[in-house]
Chain A
Amino acid sequence: MTTPYLRVRNVTKRFGHFTALDDVSIDIHRGEFVCFLGPSGCGKTTLLRAISGLDIQTHGAVEQDGRDISALPPAQRDFGIVFQSYALFQNLTVAANIAYGLENRKRPKAEIQRRVTELLELIGLPESGPKYPGQLSGGQQQRVALARALAVSPGLLLLDEPLSALDAKVRAHLRDEIKILQRRLGITTIMITHDQEEAISMADRIVVMRGGRIEQIGAPLEIYHRPANLFVAEFIGAMNLLPATRIGYGEIQLGSARLACAAEGYAPGAAVRAAVRPEDIVCTGKTNGHANSLRAEVREMEFMGPFFWLSLGGGELGEHRLRAQLPSQRARDLDLRANDATHLHIPAERIRLFPHGVGHG
Chain B
Amino acid sequence: MAELALAAPRIRPRLGRDEWLMGGGLLVLALYLAVTLLLPLALMLAKSAQDRDGAFVGLANFARYFGNPALSGTVGNSLWVSALATAITIALAFGYAYALNRSRIPFKGLFRLVAMLPLLAPSLLPAIALVYLFGNQGVLKGWLFGESIYGPIGIVIGSVFWTFPHALILISTALGTADARLYEASESLGASRWRTFTTVTLSGARYGLISALFVVFTLIITDFGVPKVVGGPFNMLATDIYKQVVGQQNFQMGAVVSLLLLLPAVLAFFVERWAQQRQISSLSSRAVPYQPKPRRSRDRLALVLVVTVAVMILGVFGMAAFASLAKLWPYDLSPSLRHYDFSATDGGSWASYGNSIRLGLYTAAFGSLVVFIGAYLVEKTRVAKPLRTATHLLALIPMAVPGMVLGLAYIFFFNAPGNPLNFLYGTMAMLVLATIAHFYTVGHLTALTALKQLDPEFESVSAALKAPFYRTFWRVTTPLCLPAVLDIALYFFINAMTTVSAVVFLYSPDTTLASVAVLNMDDAGDTAPAAAMAMLIVVTCAGVRLLHVGLSRELLNRTQVWRRR
Query: In the complex, is A directly touching B at CB under 8 Å?
Result: yes
Taken together as a complex, chains A and B put the C-alpha atoms of A345 and B118 apart, in Å, by: 83
Q: Check B464 against A58 for contact (C-beta < 8 Å).
A: no
Per-residue B-contact encoding for A152-177, CB less than 8 Å = 1, 0 else: 10100010000000000000000000
Give A144 Cβ to nearest chain B Cβ, in Å.
Answer: 12
Give B187 Cβ to nearest chain A Cβ, in Å.
Answer: 36
Residues of B close to A104: CB separation below 8 A: 465-468, 471
Most buried by B among A83, A86, A148: A83
Residues of A within 8 Å of B, CB-based: how many? Answer: 45
Taken together as a complex, chains A and B put the C-alpha atoms of A88 and B468 apart, in Å, by: 17
Q: Check B464 against A23 for contact (C-beta < 8 Å).
A: no
Tell me whether A71 and B8 are in contact in the complex, defined as CB-CB below 8 angstroms, given that A90-B480, A133-B562 are known contacts. Answer: no
Taken together as a complex, chains A and B put the C-alpha atoms of A245 and B19 apart, in Å, by: 60
Which segment of A72-80, A116-124, A329-337 sits at the interface? A72-80
Which segment of A49-57, A180-188, A247-255 sits at the interface? A49-57
Per-residue B-contact encoding for A80-113, CB less than 8 Å = 1, 0 else: 1101011111111000000011001100000000
Q: Check A75 against B463 for contact (C-beta < 8 Å).
A: yes
Taken together as a complex, chains A and B put the C-alpha atoms of A135 and B564 apart, in Å, by: 8
Per-residue A-contact encoding for B456-493, CB less than 8 Å = 1, 0 else: 11101111111110011001100110000000000000
A300 interface hit (Cβ, 8 Å) = no
Residues of B close to A56: CB separation below 8 A: 11, 13
Give B484 Cβ to nearest chain A Cβ, in Å.
Answer: 14
Tell me whether A87 and B460 are in contact in the complex, defined as CB-CB below 8 angstroms, given that A12-B5, A59-B10, A73-B14 are known contacts. Answer: yes
Q: Check A91 against B559 for contact (C-beta < 8 Å).
A: yes
Q: Which of A58, A73, A83, A133 contacts B461 (CB 8 A)?
A: A83
Q: Check A91 against B461 for contact (C-beta < 8 Å).
A: no
Residues of A close to B189: CB separation below 8 A: none
Q: Check A101 against B465 for contact (C-beta < 8 Å).
A: yes
A149 interface hit (Cβ, 8 Å) = yes
Q: Which of B18, B457, B463, B476 contacts A91 (CB 8 A)?
A: B476
Q: Check B12 against A71 for contact (C-beta < 8 Å).
A: yes
Interface residues of B in 1-20 (CB under 8 A from A): 1-2, 4-6, 8-19
Tell me whether A91 and B5 are in contact in the complex, defined as CB-CB below 8 angstroms, given that A59-B11, A73-B15 are known contacts. Answer: no
A132 interface hit (Cβ, 8 Å) = yes
Tell me whether A148 and B465 are in contact in the complex, defined as CB-CB below 8 angstroms, given that A70-B11, A91-B479, A91-B559 are known contacts. Answer: yes
Taken together as a complex, chains A and B put the C-alpha atoms of A134 and B19 apart, in Å, by: 31
Q: Which of A22, A58, A91, A133 contacts B560 (CB 8 A)?
A: A91
Give A135 Cβ to nearest chain B Cβ, in Å.
Answer: 6
Give B387 Cβ to nearest chain A Cβ, in Å.
Answer: 17
Residues of B close to A22: CB separation below 8 A: 2, 5
Q: Check B562 against A23 for contact (C-beta < 8 Å).
A: no
B455 interface hit (Cβ, 8 Å) = yes
Give A218 Cβ to nearest chain B Cβ, in Å.
Answer: 21
Taken together as a complex, chains A and B put the C-alpha atoms of A8 and B262 apart, in Å, by: 54
B561 interface hit (Cβ, 8 Å) = yes
B565 interface hit (Cβ, 8 Å) = yes
Per-residue B-contact encoding for A120-152, CB less than 8 Å = 1, 0 else: 000000000000111100000000000011011
Per-residue B-contact encoding for A8-31, CB less than 8 Å = 1, 0 else: 001010000000001100000000
Q: Check B476 against A92 for contact (C-beta < 8 Å).
A: yes
Tell me whether A134 and B466 are in contact in the complex, defined as CB-CB below 8 angstroms, given that A10-B5, A74-B460 are known contacts. Answer: no
Q: Check A152 against B565 for contact (C-beta < 8 Å).
A: no
Residues of A close to B18: CB separation below 8 A: 73, 75
Residues of B close to A57: CB separation below 8 A: 11
Taken together as a complex, chains A and B put the C-alpha atoms of A105 and B466 apart, in Å, by: 8
Q: Check A58 against B11 for contact (C-beta < 8 Å).
A: yes
B382 interface hit (Cβ, 8 Å) = yes
- Smallest Cβ-Cβ distance to B469: which chain A residue: A75
A60 interface hit (Cβ, 8 Å) = yes
Taken together as a complex, chains A and B put the C-alpha atoms of A70 and B10 apart, in Å, by: 11
Give B451 Cβ to nearest chain A Cβ, in Å.
Answer: 14
Taken together as a complex, chains A and B put the C-alpha atoms of A56 and B19 apart, in Å, by: 13
B563 interface hit (Cβ, 8 Å) = yes
Q: Check B14 against A152 for contact (C-beta < 8 Å).
A: no
Taken together as a complex, chains A and B put the C-alpha atoms of A81 and B563 apart, in Å, by: 25
Residues of A close to B468: CB separation below 8 A: 75, 104
- Smallest Cβ-Cβ distance to A93: which chain B residue: B562
Q: Which of A59, A87, A133, A149 contacts B5 (CB 8 A)?
A: A59
Q: Which of A23, A85, A86, A134 contacts B563 (CB 8 A)?
A: A134
Q: Check B479 against A23 for contact (C-beta < 8 Å).
A: no
Q: Check A59 against B480 for contact (C-beta < 8 Å).
A: no
Q: Check B1 against A132 for contact (C-beta < 8 Å).
A: no
Interface residues of A in 32-59 (CB under 8 A from B): 52-54, 56-59
Taken together as a complex, chains A and B put the C-alpha atoms of A151 and B465 apart, in Å, by: 9
Taken together as a complex, chains A and B put the C-alpha atoms of A33 and B562 apart, in Å, by: 35
Q: Check B460 against A152 for contact (C-beta < 8 Å).
A: no
Residues of A close to B480: CB separation below 8 A: 90-91
Q: Check A87 against B476 for contact (C-beta < 8 Å).
A: no
Q: Check A91 against B562 for contact (C-beta < 8 Å).
A: yes
Taken together as a complex, chains A and B put the C-alpha atoms of A151 and B467 apart, in Å, by: 13
Taken together as a complex, chains A and B put the C-alpha atoms of A153 and B10 apart, in Å, by: 32
Residues of B close to A73: CB separation below 8 A: 13-16, 18-19, 382, 463
Residues of A close to B461: CB separation below 8 A: 81, 83, 87, 148-149
Give B544 Cβ to nearest chain A Cβ, in Å.
Answer: 26
Residues of A close to B5: CB separation below 8 A: 10, 12, 22-23, 59-60
Q: Check B16 against A75 for contact (C-beta < 8 Å).
A: yes
Tell me whether A54 and B382 are in contact in the complex, defined as CB-CB below 8 angstroms, given that A73-B14, A152-B466 are known contacts. Answer: yes
Taken together as a complex, chains A and B put the C-alpha atoms of A75 and B22 apart, in Å, by: 14
Residues of B close to A81: CB separation below 8 A: 457, 460-461, 464
Taken together as a complex, chains A and B put the C-alpha atoms of A10 and B9 apart, in Å, by: 11
Per-residue B-contact encoding for A206-247, CB less than 8 Å = 1, 0 else: 000000000000000000000000000000000000000000
Residues of B close to A72: CB separation below 8 A: 14, 16
Residues of A close to B563: CB separation below 8 A: 134
Give A279 Cβ to nearest chain B Cβ, in Å.
Answer: 37
Taken together as a complex, chains A and B put the C-alpha atoms of A54 and B13 apart, in Å, by: 10
Residues of A close to B16: CB separation below 8 A: 72-76
Q: Check B455 against A87 for contact (C-beta < 8 Å).
A: yes
Taken together as a complex, chains A and B put the C-alpha atoms of A152 and B464 apart, in Å, by: 10
Q: Check B562 against A132 for contact (C-beta < 8 Å).
A: yes
Q: Which of B14, B457, B561 contacts A87 (CB 8 A)?
A: B457
Q: Check A134 against B465 for contact (C-beta < 8 Å).
A: no
Give B504 Cβ to nearest chain A Cβ, in Å.
Answer: 43
Residues of B close to A75: CB separation below 8 A: 16-18, 463, 466, 468
Residues of A close to B4: CB separation below 8 A: 10, 23
Q: Which of B13, B559, B562 contacts A134 (CB 8 A)?
A: B562
Q: Which of B14, B456, B464 contacts A80 (CB 8 A)?
A: B464
Q: Which of B12, B15, B463, B562 contacts A54 (CB 8 A)?
A: B463
Q: Check B475 against A89 for contact (C-beta < 8 Å).
A: yes
Q: Check A83 against B562 for contact (C-beta < 8 Å).
A: no
Residues of B close to A59: CB separation below 8 A: 5-6, 8-11
Taken together as a complex, chains A and B put the C-alpha atoms of A74 and B16 apart, in Å, by: 8
Residues of A close to B455: CB separation below 8 A: 83, 85-88
Taken together as a complex, chains A and B put the C-alpha atoms of A76 and B14 apart, in Å, by: 10
Interface residues of B in 551-565 (CB under 8 A from A): 559-563, 565
Most buried by B among A90, A134, A148, A158: A90
Residues of B close to A154: CB separation below 8 A: 464
Most buried by A among B2, B6, B8, B559: B8
A-B contact list, 10 entries, CB within 8 Å: A54-B382, A59-B8, A59-B9, A71-B11, A75-B17, A81-B464, A83-B455, A91-B560, A101-B467, A158-B464
18 more A-B residue pairs beyond the given contacts A60-B11, A92-B475, A104-B468, with a C-beta to C-beta distance below 8 A:
A22-B5, A23-B1, A23-B2, A52-B464, A59-B6, A60-B8, A71-B13, A73-B19, A75-B17, A76-B14, A79-B464, A80-B464, A81-B461, A83-B460, A87-B458, A87-B460, A92-B562, A152-B466
User: Which 10 pairs show the lowest CB-CB distances between chains A and B?
Assistant: A101-B465, A73-B16, A132-B562, A74-B463, A87-B457, A56-B13, A87-B455, A71-B14, A89-B476, A12-B5
